[in-house]
Amino acid sequence: MSDHPYGIETLCLHAGQLPDPVTGSRAAPIYQTTSYVFDSADHAASLFNLQTFGNVYSRISNPTVAMLEERIAALENGRASLCVASGMAAQLTAIEAILSPGDHIVASSLLYGGTYSQFDVTLRRRGIETTFVDPDEPANFRRAMRENTRLVYGETLGNPKINVLDIEPPLGPGLWDVDLGPGFYGTYDPWGRFIYASLRFDF
């Protein structure tokens, strides 16, 4: 697409994709391949070494997924996006991008079972500890905070009780009123889920 500022409807339909140059097809194709052809051994080596842009294997990259990633980035006005195969994979990828061994999470105790296990088992094995709190009282999050807390996590509708997490806007009562200390940032994702993550990174 050109640099023209398109509306959201056009971006939803066409961002990240050009019409097929051979057939003129407007719709994005679904590439059902696992493998790709390399021009030479040197070409393959440059792809595997990330020196040349291109597809290596569909578990790593795929033209259909690349189109979706570009489309989401355009819709979010971002530089890039990353698509993975499941919500659990997306969650783990995001968490491991901002947390390191020795960091701490404060999380609602009412979470999807897979998320609870990911926090309590998988992340603990990686040196990231989680304190689970009753989310019905927002001050519980503050009480569980530590010096090494880097993430506060909750589900808008908790599982399995479908309790509603108190996430009213900053000027209203609720989790936003909890003083999490300097360096913390709170936001919502496009689906209304609450994200609260630290900006105090040590790279």
Residue 118 DSSP code: I
pLDDT tens digit string along 78-112? 888 888 888 888 888 888 888 999 999 999 999 98
Contacts of 99 (CB under 8 A, 6+ apart): 105, 123, 128, 150, 151
pLDDT at 81: 83
CA 48 remoteness from chain centre: 25
* pLDDT higher at 43 or 172: 43
pLDDT tens digit string along 7-66? 888 787 778 777 778 778 878 888 888 888 899 999 999 988 989 888 888 878 888 888
Domain made up of 87-198: CATH architecture: 3-Layer(aba) Sandwich (3.40)
pLDDT at 173 over 90: no
pLDDT at 185 over 80: no
Helices (H), the chain: 8-14, 41-48, 63-75, 87-98, 113-117, 123-125, 139-143
Which pLDDT band holds residue 168 (cuts at 50, 70, 90)?
A: low
Q: Tell me the domain boundaries of the chain.
A: 8-75, 87-198
Contacts of 86 (CB under 8 A, 6+ apart): none
Give me the phi and psi of 52, to 5 degrees please: -125, 140
CA 198 remoteness from chain centre: 15
* pLDDT higher at 74 or 133: 133
* Strand ordering across the sheet containing 149-153: 129-133, 104-108, 149-153, 194-198, 184-188
* pLDDT higher at 86 or 120: 120
- No. of H helices and E strands in the chain? 7, 5
Which pLDDT band holds residue 121 (cuts at 50, 70, 90)?
A: very high
pTM: 0.65
pLDDT at 202: 35
* pLDDT higher at 168 or 184: 168
pLDDT at 82: 83
Taking residues 177-188, report their average pLDDT. Answer: 45
Residue 28 DSSP code: P
pLDDT at 119 over 90: yes
CA 184 – CA 198 distance, rounded (Å): 4
Which pLDDT band holds residue 167 (cuts at 50, 70, 90)?
A: low
pLDDT at 124: 96
Contacts of 113 (CB under 8 A, 6+ apart): 159
CB 142 within 8 A of CB 163: no
CA 74 – CA 110 distance, rounded (Å): 34
CA 102 – CA 86 distance, rounded (Å): 26
